[in-house]
Amino acid sequence: MGLWDIDKIEYVGHAKGVEEGLAFHYYDKDRVVAGKPMKDWLRFAVAWWHTFNQGLVDPFGDPTAQRPYYKYTDPMDQALAKVDYAFELFQKLGVEFFCFHDRDLAPEGDTLRETNANLDKVVDKIEQNMHDTGVKLLWNTSSLFTNKRFEAGAGTSPFADIYAYSGAQLKHSLEIGKRLGAENYVFWGGREGYESLWNTEMKREQDHIAALFQMCVDYAHEIGMDAQFLIEPKPKEPTLHQYDYDAATTINFLRTYGLDKDFKLNLEGNHANLAMHTYQHEIRVAREAGFLGSLDANQGDKLIGWDMDEFPSDLYETTAVMWEVLAAGGIGPHGGLNFDAKPRRTSFTPEDLFRTHVVGMDSFAAGLLVAAKMHEDKYIENLQEQRYSSFDSGIGKSVEEGKASLASLEDYAIDKPQAELIAACKSDHLESVKATINNYLVEALAQA
Ligand code: XUL
Ligand code: CO
């Protein structure tokens, strides 16, 4: 049976009699939907930090996770053993990508030189496993927030030694990305922000981190690393206010510093909620501005204000996400769905790691099926076209063609009676739209 006491997860359709949670009912990887196999729309990835390292702690409690490799007590032995467990899990789930932070893989030494040497041993083993299995690296990243030296940030730290260390750490991380053929490279600035404006020079900090990003772009060109660079927005947690607050703020930052040609965004469901947005909102903003890069697949909870990193199970949300993805023709140039998610603290067995991925994969596969049916019928496209149709001719058309002025708008509107203006507004029957979306969910899944 291998290292994990579990069989390969198979697609069973609507078959009964399989153990619930350990088979796919919707994710049929080679099934063609909207012109592409499901696996190519979804490009699932396992997140090393949650799946292999997360002990299932919360701010009030000890870890509860039970993992087979805890029998290796030496940190380096355990780090190397995890590689075997990881690649077997990828294959048993049928996931073709993974993601990691440099510090997820190996323990730190006293100097960066020692730390890099530990890391390289594990990367050697990962490279061999990638070669043997065909599993690919969706993205890697650098943890510039875990170690206490980053207490006040990395690229925005007020301490030049920490800034220099961060650049040095990034350099090696980019080299690893190139070596492993990373499709993307992510920057998440969990400590790039402020706790108080009274001691913070906000613009100076942003100038510093923009310069660091530019150095990364330059170094990637120098070594021929062609991964798509991505920034992952999050408004807060752990830092009170993070500079990459949401998609719109981050796009503004990239344009301000001339980095917009080299970066796109990696958007996460729970981060969107912390910014008081929906996941769909963040994806729409990025998609329409040309910045959709990749997605961290997780969900939050209405009842709690933290980053819960729950595995996705909300079909309404996965449908909305996949509707946007289909509208974009794909997640991004090299994007995928990375499960930046962890089991609840009460789901602590090794088997729960499989169950959580299965629900996440099946929920996105179901969302894809529903959204594809909506696109096939052009349901939303027609609805939106109708809603804005007054801009297709007359005064509306003159606005869209850039031919309108305040004077021409005045000419048009000055003598219009109130009754005519009210008659120009049409009810959108929004509740019926929502009911129709519900019908799509029920019917598309029943037919799947
Ligand atoms: C934290 C988060 C990170 C990034 C990578 O909320 O999402 O795990 O995805 O650093
Ligand atoms: Co994330």
Residue nearest to atom 5 of ligand 1 (CA): 188
Residue 296 labeled ligand binder: yes
Q: Decide: 118 and 108 in contact? Cβ < 8 Å.
A: yes
E-strand ranges in 201-284 read 228-231, 241-242, 263-268
List Cβ neighbours of 235 (8 Å cut-off, separation of 6 or more).
241, 242, 245, 246, 271, 274, 275
Is residue 238 over pLDDT 90?
yes
102 C-beta closer than 6 A to ligand 1: no
Query: Collapsing DSSP states into helix, strand and coil, what is residue 386?
Result: helix
Q: Is 271 annotated as a binding residue?
A: yes
The answer on pLDDT for 332 being more than 90 is no
Q: Which band of pLDDT confidence, cut at 50, 70 and 90, is reported for residue 254?
A: very high
Q: Per residue in 32-90, pLDDT tens?
A: 999 999 999 999 999 999 999 999 999 999 999 999 999 999 999 999 999 999 999 99
Catalytic residue among 101, 172, 281, 334: 101
Q: Which pLDDT belongs to residue 398?
A: 98
| Catalytic residue list contains 101 | yes
The question of whether 5 is a catalytic residue gets the answer: no
CA 393 to chain centre: 40
Percent residues over pLDDT 70 in the chain? 100
Say if residue 315 is exposed, middle or buried (CB neighbours under 10 Å; 0-12, 13-18, 19+): middle
Q: Is the dihedral of CA 208, 254, 276, 268 positive or negative?
A: negative
Predicted structure pTM score: 0.97
- pLDDT band of 219, cuts 50, 70, 90: very high
Ligand 2 centroid from CA 67, angstroms: 23
What is the structure's pLDDT at 205? 98
Mean pLDDT of 292-299: 98
Q: What mean pLDDT comes out for the span 11-23?
A: 86
Distance from the CA of 421 to the center of ligand 2, in angstroms?
A: 47
Nearest 5°: CA angle at 446, between 440 and 447? 90
Query: ∠259-175-141 over CA atoms, to 5°?
Result: 60
How far is CA 358 from each of CA 87, 335, 337, rounded to the nearest angstrom? Answer: 16, 20, 13
